[in-house]
Structure 1
């Protein structure tokens, strides 16, 4: 569909002002919004699409997922097929293409692919997927790829520890994220950036789903964190840290790392540090409700049973303190396409529906430095527009039923289709 497109609906949400306007008329030309509720007559040549009794929202954003794992063929409630040695890079990339379409249909038009943790021979599969989507070869969200997660040998995002592989079974290189010591982490960051990563992911502490260190254990020294942050920032990219443990979170904040993923065991002091430093938090809170921990290894289940209740208690404190919280699911820990369940969980933890919407729009846009072109419905912004039934500013669960998706002015999903 070309030319001017006019979207009409019952309502639209100004997520910045926190207001719902009725009715809604949004004029799109090319890739951008050119008018919202215009006073001037509409062009006679415009294609008018009446979406009916729905609410228009900016395209939603998921700031932590991995499109290259999970998806087709995986058991419901478990983040697999995940780290097996059976899938080659080509097959994984095709799986990622399916997950990308599923994510877009769910109304998420922008995502961060946070850290490959599979053997690829040094290829950055998320960068390849991003390029294919950007060039229009395949439908999917706008991807901010991190390449391979930077992790120490035996660290949480070392692919060999998810299945307790014996030594020598899966040799990995700096190019694939395994980096020990300051020279290695610098080389690893440079490799990811050289081959297209738009941010860096670092494994800062242990985790729940890996057979390695305890969830709270800090995995890099302060000097290594500082080297990672310095190298990335000099290259003009931000750093996101998988950090569950409190001391690891504090070390990341001191090093100038931009974003904490999970933050489950953060103390009140650490929450205040995030506020004081302007550090973002991607809390991935829904997975603590949804993950099928009764179906994982007993030692992993024991970790989850200890960590998840503490994570649920931490987040309301972070919300009340004013931490900048961006929506992220850690999909496929939450199945691809069910990303909006994170918004429902954020409201259950203490956000208002509008705060939850902002976490997936304006706050996420600030995190990836696109708040001048994404995250709101306004003239001059990219035409990423979705439609949901009801009023999500009152009932956030409306975001679970996305009926219309436009990205960059192109319609990918509509009731008519």
Structure 2
């Protein structure tokens, strides 16, 4: 049998046809018309011209004639193609199926690339994102992992062990306990998804019970006394007076937070369509509430005056317009509102005062004013369930809440009037504590 030479190969490769190498291995160079190319299992190439010229080996495996590709010519030389074909012949003689082995190997390599923690994160978000309250939650799920668990993202999810999870958690477990718990819970959920999808097996290395519990401090002990620093309620009238000397919409947004006891995000994201100024009601939609339920906020006279002062001159604002817009007309970040407090704290400290601090000496936060309001309610004798309703906190068991048919709006309106009067340093009739019979 005459074997083809390199010189002959270069000449015949310009013409469509099948050219046998002639070494008994079944190897040929298949030159196709570019318009009639057909895929060859195991074949490959780099350019259109290379794909026209492919090494193909015909061999009988388990009684069936199979074609196995060995790459494109001239990227794969005649010598390399012969060596590959010879190896296949030896494997078949040994009872192996080279094509099946190749598919298994390629499949395993593909799985190792696709089934990473990053891919599992994406799939987890797609699977559960529809149940989350907002796009912000979807974004946070990825940002948390990219920021704190970036070392896991390229790792095959099946290979993640407890040591990998610990490497993520230990640097932040004691210093950022709230974030660390959120990251751990997120990792556990993603790895649970991966196990359910068949991407991994065995115990979840991010699980607390039976996994991380012996290796890390108890979460409740780490976060003890790590509440948002809050101002003593007796100091609120002085703080509010100084806050009203601050310029800018961020300061006005914080002022509304204090007068209504809402969360910073609820005030920052407020739009004019949520306010009924004539009816003195602010309805925050469910999608913007932490509990996922719409919340009606009664507006006191000072809160109404603040909002009316924010109305733009001329035509009424569009319902979708942000009530406290930043320079670009968008929503302030939480750091922008915190910056107002920091600026006031720095100014007071430079003037020789103690700054705006809580009892432990920590600078107060905007969110801390909700605690201040709650303390004021308790010390002034206002009913617990009324204060919790004003803060949009769940009261009672799920069954009790299911039977609750009122949000106590009228009574909360009187409470917020009393709170606003106190904040402004006024003594009014509404400031007298409300008394109700205890709930059985």
Q: Give TM class, smaller chain.
A: under 0.3
Q: Which has the higher helix share?
A: 2
Name whichever structure is richer in strand by fraction.
1
- Higher relative contact order structure (alpha carbons within 8 Å, sequence separation ≥ 6): 1
Task: State the TM-score, normalized to the length of structure 2.
Answer: 0.21
